[in-house]
Amino acid sequence: MTEVIEQTRKHTINVLQFICPTGFYGAERWVLALAKHLDPAYIRCDLAVTMEPDQKPLELVKEYQKLNLPCHIVSMKNKFDFSAVNKMVELIKSKNIHIVHTHGYKSDIIGVLAAKKAGVPCVVTPHGFENAKDIKLRTFIWLGCQAMKYATKVVPLSQQLKQDCKRMGVKEAKTLYIQNGVDLSEVEATPTPPRDNSKEKRIGFVGQMISRKNIFDILDIFEQLHSKHPDTRLVLLGDGDARAELEAYSQKLSSYDYVEFLGFRDDRLSLLKSFDLFVMTSTLEGIPRCLMEATAAGIPVAAYNIAGIDQLIEHQKTGLLAPLGEKQKLLGYWEQLLFNQDYASELADNAKSFVYEHYSANRMAREYTELFVELLKED
């Protein structure tokens, strides 16, 4: 690949990663991982983020600055301030940006429009599609999906997302599948914490608390598990629109004292390594970063068998998967992995080997570099 780049580019390619962060979750960490692994000899990778009034300082910006890479704040008066388009155009021109790379519905809308006005290519990477109930959010999601059609290239993270893009009207010629990758060095560098209670089994989840994560099913399954096995605890890491409702729901459960909502945590990888079981009950996913991190950490996994998750977990080989919505079957799988240590270790070891072989950020960065070079050749 290096020879191809040197033959086709005499100067560094300036890429602007653009995202409207909602926290520091999968998409934000993905952007960070890509920037970290792109070779600066060929790609200069700036970051642009939107900032709304009263918004808290962004963890993504703090972590990005640690890479000694440029960060730019695009101020917005409200969530739907389209003056951000012209601000992005000015940024693209002033920083001599060659390619805009967007992540998320809002950034897709603003980024595609800005790239068109500035006359540069725009790459859209869908990280997952939200099955939201709120009509305003559904409308905004629809607009984001329409914007994808006008991108130069749409690069979904999974084969299912590629099919979703096709269903939404994105032309086949505009799509390119680059398999997801994750910065596994973070997982490797995090020590496993000591346990206060060696008898207690810790079941954990890491991710956004939004509707498609379907965390109510996790609470329901844990309620049944805990009634049979009192030495169990459920640890939920993350934040989101559904958190308040989930906490209120958990207060009605007999297992409430053994359910922890820890919110966003800087020590999430250390906490992840304290789990005896990683669980997911999502109804819709891309390829979950949290799941890749859990397998890289050697934590056994039980989840619903949906697209995206099935690219990481093969039933009875690298984890256990129940049909969507079958809580009783998933409860049985939780019990198997919690109380059959040899079996759980075998599946966890298989999963760890699989994710290290197929989902490294280095491989992903190489393929994105090839795409960026190709786009400028065509421009």
Which candidate, 205, 289, 295, places its Cα nearest to that of 242? Answer: 205
Kindly state the percentage of the chain with pLDDT values over 90.
72
Same structural domain, 345 and 229? yes
d(Cα 342, Cα 359) in Å, to the nearest integer? 25
Question: Which 8-state DSSP code applies to residue 311?
Answer: G
Instruction: Check: CB of residue 19 under 8 Å from CB of residue 102.
Output: yes
Using a 10 angstrom Cβ sphere, with 0-12 exposed, 13-18 middle and 19 or more buried, the burial of residue 79 is exposed
- pLDDT computed for residue 2 by the predictor: 53
Using a 10 angstrom Cβ sphere, with 0-12 exposed, 13-18 middle and 19 or more buried, the burial of residue 76 is buried
Cβ atoms within 10 Å, residue 173: 7
Q: What tokens appear for 85 in the block?
A: 């388009």
Cβ atoms within 10 Å, residue 374: 15
Helix (H, G, I), strand (E, B) or coil at 139: helix
Which candidate, 360, 369, 368, 365, places its Cα nearest to that of 182? Answer: 360
- pLDDT computed for residue 9 by the predictor: 55
Using a 10 angstrom Cβ sphere, with 0-12 exposed, 13-18 middle and 19 or more buried, the burial of residue 367 is middle
pTM, rounded to two decimals: 0.70
Contacts of 73 (CB under 8 A, 6+ apart): 48, 49, 50, 51, 61
Cβ atoms within 10 Å, residue 93: 13
d(Cα 366, Cα 357) in Å, to the nearest integer? 15
- pLDDT computed for residue 207 by the predictor: 92
Report CA Rg, the chain.
Answer: 21
* Residue ranges making up the domain that contains 367: 2-181+360-378
- pLDDT computed for residue 140 by the predictor: 74
Same structural domain, 338 and 374? no
Contacts of 315 (CB under 8 A, 6+ apart): 305, 321
Contacts of 102 (CB under 8 A, 6+ apart): 18, 19, 108, 110, 111, 112, 122, 123, 124, 125, 151
Phi and psi angles of residue 111, each rounded to the nearest 5 degrees, phi first: -65, -40
Same structural domain, 115 and 53? yes
Which candidate, 103, 106, 101, places its Cα nearest to that of 142? Answer: 106
Same structural domain, 274 and 336? yes
* Per-residue model confidence as pLDDT tens digits over 216-239: 999 999 999 999 999 999 999 999
Residue tagged 């909602």 (tokens): 22
Contacts of 318 (CB under 8 A, 6+ apart): 295, 301, 312, 347, 350, 351, 354
Same structural domain, 82 and 216? no
* Per-residue model confidence as pLDDT tens digits over 179-206: 888 888 888 889 888 877 678 999 999 9
Q: What tokens appear for 254 in the block?
A: 């007999």
Low-confidence ranges of the chain (pLDDT < 70): 1-10, 130-133, 137, 197, 379
- pLDDT computed for residue 193 by the predictor: 85
Same structural domain, 303 and 335? yes
Same structural domain, 253 and 159? no
Same structural domain, 170 and 47? yes
- pLDDT computed for residue 8 by the predictor: 52
Which candidate, 219, 196, 238, places its Cα nearest to that of 327? Answer: 219
Same structural domain, 28 and 173? yes
Same structural domain, 299 and 368? no
Same structural domain, 208 and 79? no
Same structural domain, 271 and 314? yes
- pLDDT computed for residue 236 by the predictor: 98
d(Cα 377, Cα 44) in Å, to the nearest integer? 17
Q: What is the CATH number of the domain that holds 67?
A: 3.40.50.2000
d(Cα 186, Cα 180) in Å, to the nearest integer? 16
- Domains in the chain, number: 2
